[in-house]
Amino acid sequence: MCPPSAYGKHELKYAKHNLSYEFSQKKGLEHILSYANLRADFMKKINNENLISNITKDYPFIDKSVIGTSRLGVPIYAFIIGHGAKDIMINASHHANEWITTLLLFNFLEEKASKYNKEIDLWNEIKLHCIPLVNPDGVNMVLGKKVSNDWKANACGVDLNKNYPANWYQAKSYYFQQGFCKPGAKNFVGERPLSEPETSAMAAYTFLNDFLTTLSLHTQGEEIYYKYLDFNPKGANELAKKFAEVSGYKLEEVPEESSFAGYRDWFITEFNRPGFTIECGLGENPLPLSDFSYMYKKTSPILEEALKWTAKQA
């Protein structure tokens, strides 16, 4: 349990545009600034550099845009494929130690791109927005082994999937009671909803588009979360069942106390449309690359179903 004064006074000055001054005084976080140069590491390790630069060369019909930048100035990309009027968005790696989901989404994008002409009827109907790396700094930190393997947060120690304006105050109160009242590896909700550039970029991009549904890829648990409080977006239950059927993943209702302030929670609250969290794979985060093929086999049918569903909407 945190003292009530811990929050909002000295702990949170970091959020005021200048990252350096508060972190330098915090044990365990003082070296965070040096993580900036680990970007290159991430790219090398997961072979992403080529993917990012080449995917639009190999597949000129894919549009790439920068939706914002991370705390440390790393671009957050969206890749868009299709030219239909119905939009769907899939995002990955809100959580740093779940970076394997970035690979999963990239792989899916490449696979779809390679069949683009064969599936042109689908792309005439829909537009798929992929945001494969919501939290580049956090992922760099985990891959660079600068933080422990349980690090989920961004470079400022904010848990990005607890920073959205969907019952954020309840989330704050719940996690504060659990002792997560300052920047750290996970469960710190931030100074205010959308305090982080990564989450505000996601929210802005979501407002700018008209997504009929969104999927957020996380690890792990082989579970699908689709409910939020009493919201009952049209089609959500049926689609969730379909996802479960094609993947073998379990349908889960989020336990009340932790079902706040995530991207999916916010998307459902704001738009009353189906939004999903897919907990891919099974094991301890970060899941090893050796799990990738099996995980991809189970998960990609979910993504396929989501595209088909989007195409069928009026």
DSSP H helices, the chain, are: 20-23, 39-45, 48-58, 100-114, 120-125, 136-143, 168-177, 197-208, 236-247, 263-271, 292-312
Closer to Zn ion at the Cβ: 39 or 218?
218
Contact (Cβ atoms closer than 8 angstroms) between residue 220 and residue 299? no
**What per-residue string of b and e applies to 43-77 under the rule 16 or more CB within 10 Å gives b?**
beebebeebbeebeeebeebeeeebbebbbebbbb
Report the 10 Å Cβ neighbour count for 185: 21
Identify any residues that bridge with 214 across adjacent strands, giving them in sequence order.
Answer: 89, 275
Least distance in angstroms from the C-beta of 115 to Zn ion: 29
Least distance in angstroms from the C-beta of 96 to Zn ion: 9
Closer to Zn ion at the Cβ: 82 or 262?
262
Question: CA dist 198 to 85, 155, 220, Å?
Answer: 26, 11, 22
Phi and psi for 252 in degrees, rounded to 5? -125, 145
Contact (Cβ atoms closer than 8 angstroms) between residue 212 and residue 87? yes
Question: CA dist 121 to 56, 255, 310, 312, Å?
Answer: 21, 40, 13, 12
Give the residue nearest to Zn ion (CB): 218
Q: Which stretch binds Zn ion (CB under 5 A): 37-45, 71-79, 88-96, 268-276?
A: 88-96
Least distance in angstroms from the C-beta of 217 to Zn ion: 9
Active site residues: 279
**Would you give the binding string for Zn ion spanning residues 205-224, x where CB under 5 A is met?**
-------------x------
Q: What is residue 102's three-state secondary structure?
A: helix
Closer to Zn ion at the Cβ: 238 or 256?
256
Phi and psi for 278 in degrees, rounded to 5? -105, 115
**Distance from CA of residue 96 to its chain's centroid?**
9
Closer to Zn ion at the Cβ: 35 or 151?
151
Q: Is there binding between residue 227 and Zn ion (CB under 5 A)?
A: no
Q: What is residue 295's three-state secondary structure?
A: helix
Closer to Zn ion at the Cβ: 55 or 100?
100
Least distance in angstroms from the C-beta of 188 to Zn ion: 14
Least distance in angstroms from the C-beta of 254 to Zn ion: 12
Per CB under 5 A, the list member of 39, 86, 95, 298 interacting with Zn ion is 95
Q: What is residue 236's three-state secondary structure?
A: helix
Closer to Zn ion at the Cβ: 71 or 218?
218
Least distance in angstroms from the C-beta of 127 to Zn ion: 26
The footprint of Zn ion (CB under 5 A) covers: 95, 98, 218
